[in-house]
Chains A and B, each alone.
Chain A
Amino acid sequence: MKPIYLDHNATTPLHLRVRQAMQDALAIFGNPSSIYRLGREAHNLIEEARQTIASFLGAQPQEIIFTGSGTEANNLAIKGVLRSACEWMHRPPEAFHLITSEIEHPSVLETCKGLAAAGVKVTFLPVDRHGRVRVKDFVAAITPSTLLASIMLANNEIGAIQSIRALAREAHKRGVIFHSDAVQALGKIAIDYRKIGADLLTFSGHKIQGPKGVGLLWVRRGVRIRPLLDGGPQEGALRAGTENVPGIIGLGKAFEVIARKDLRRSAKSVAALKETLRRGLMQRIKGIRINSPSANCLPNTLSISIEDTEAESLLMQLDLAGICVSSGSACSTESYGEASHVLLAIDLSTEQARATLRFSLADTTTRKEITEVLRRMPGIVAKVRSISPSYLARTSGKKHPRRSRTT
Chain B
Amino acid sequence: MNHRSIYLDHAATTAIDPRVREAMAPYLDRYFGNPSSVHRFGREARAAVEKAREILAEVISALPEEIVFTSSGTEANNLAITGFLEAQGGSPGHVITSAIEHPSVLNVCRYWSETRRDVIASCISVEQSGLVSPAVIEAAVSTRTRLISIMHCNNETGMIQPIEEIVEIARAHRCNVHSDAVQSFLKLPLNVRTMGLDLCTLSAHKIYGPKGIGALYVKRETPLQALLHGGPQEQWRRAGTENVAAIVGFAHAVQLGVEERENRLAHLQELENKFLETLQQLGCKYELNGLPENRVPGIMNLSFQEVLGADLLIALDLEGIVVSTGSACSSGVVEASYVINAMYQDGERAKRSIRVSFGKDNTLEEARRAAETLHRIVHTTQTHQ
Contacts and interface: CB of A to CB of B under 8 A. Distances in A.
Contacts of B38: 312, 315-316, 319, 326-327
A239 to B, nearest CB: 9
A337 interface: no
B243 A213 contact: yes
Interface stretch (A172-180, A225-233, A277-285): A225-233
Given A242-B74, A330-B42, A68 B37 contact: no
A33 B16 contact: no
A106 B231 contact: yes
Interface stretch (A34-42, A129-137, A294-302, A363-371): A34-42
Nearest to B316: A36
B10 to A, nearest CB: 10
Interface string A322-354: 001111011111010000000000000000000
Contacts of B28: 14, 19, 22-23, 211
Interface stretch (B101-109, B122-130, B186-194, B372-380): B101-109
Contacts of A31: 9, 12-13
Interface in A196-240: 204, 206, 211-214, 228-234, 240
Most A C-beta atoms less than 10 A away, residue of B103, B213, B243, B332: B243
B324 to A, nearest CB: 6
Interface in B287-340: 313-314, 317, 322, 324, 328-332, 334
A38 B71 contact: no
Contact of B111 (A230, A232, A242, A331): A230
Given A230-B104, A240-B107, A75 B40 contact: no
B239 A106 contact: yes
Interface residues on B, range: 35 or more
B1 A38 contact: yes
Interface in A161-192: none
A117 B152 CA distance: 36
A115 to B, nearest CB: 9
B323 to A, nearest CB: 8
A372 interface: no
Most B C-beta atoms less than 10 A away, residue of A32, A33, A35: A35
Interface in B218-249: 227-233, 239-246
Interface in B17-75: 21, 24-25, 28-29, 32-34, 36-42, 70-75
Nearest to A68: B71
Contact of B324 (A11, A34, A316): A34
A330 B37 contact: yes
Given A10-B34, A330-B34, A69 B241 contact: yes
A326 B24 CA distance: 26
A100 B108 CA distance: 28
Nearest to A112: B229
A150 to B, nearest CB: 13
Contact of B229 (A22, A107, A211, A319): A107
Nearest to B35: A330
Contacts of B33: 10-11
B267 interface: no
A94 interface: no
A229 B78 contact: yes
Most A C-beta atoms less than 10 A away, residue of B212, B243, B314: B212
B120 interface: no
B330 A242 contact: no
Contacts of A30: 1, 13
A35 B71 contact: no
A231 B104 contact: yes
A325 B38 CA distance: 9
B9 to A, nearest CB: 6
Contacts of B36: 10, 330-332
B317 A326 contact: no
Contact of A11 (B13, B32, B108, B228): B32
Contacts of A326: 37-39
Interface residues of A, number: 82
A214 B228 contact: no
Contacts of B29: 13-14, 19
A69 B71 contact: yes
Interface string B238-282: 011111111000000000000000000000000000000000000
B363 interface: no
A33 B212 contact: no
B7 A38 contact: yes
A359 to B, nearest CB: 12
Nearest to B15: A29
B113 interface: no
Contacts of B146: none
Given A11-B32, A231-B78, A212 B14 contact: no
Given A29-B13, A68-B71, A212-B243, A233 B330 contact: yes
B309 to A, nearest CB: 11
A107 B240 contact: yes
Contact of B9 (A19, A34, A213, A231): A34
A258 B244 CA distance: 23
A244 interface: yes
Interface string A310-324: 001001101100001
Contacts of B111: 230
A252 to B, nearest CB: 14
Nearest to B325: A35
B93 interface: no
A367 B230 CA distance: 35
A325 B39 contact: yes
A106 B230 contact: yes
B60 to A, nearest CB: 21
B228 A72 contact: yes
Interface in A34-82: 34-39, 41, 43, 67-72, 74-75
A110 interface: yes
Nearest to B33: A11
Nearest to B29: A19
A127 B232 CA distance: 24
B210 A233 contact: no
Nearest to A75: B228
A68 B240 contact: yes
Contacts of B331: 233
Given A10-B36, A11-B32, A324 B330 contact: no
A213 B322 contact: no
Interface pairs A-B: 5 shortest CB-CB: A213-B243, A244-B212, A68-B71, A231-B104, A107-B230
Interface of B: 1-2, 5, 7, 9, 12-16, 21, 24-25, 28-29, 32-34, 36-42, 70-75, 77-78, 102-105, 107-108, 110-111, 115, 205, 210-213, 227-233, 239-246, 313-314, 317, 322, 324, 328-332, 334
Given A110-B239, A231-B74, A242-B74, 8 more contacts: A26-B24, A38-B5, A68-B212, A211-B243, A240-B78, A240-B104, A242-B72, A324-B37
14 contacts: A11-B33, A23-B25, A33-B12, A34-B12, A34-B324, A71-B231, A106-B239, A230-B107, A230-B111, A240-B104, A244-B212, A247-B212, A324-B37, A331-B232
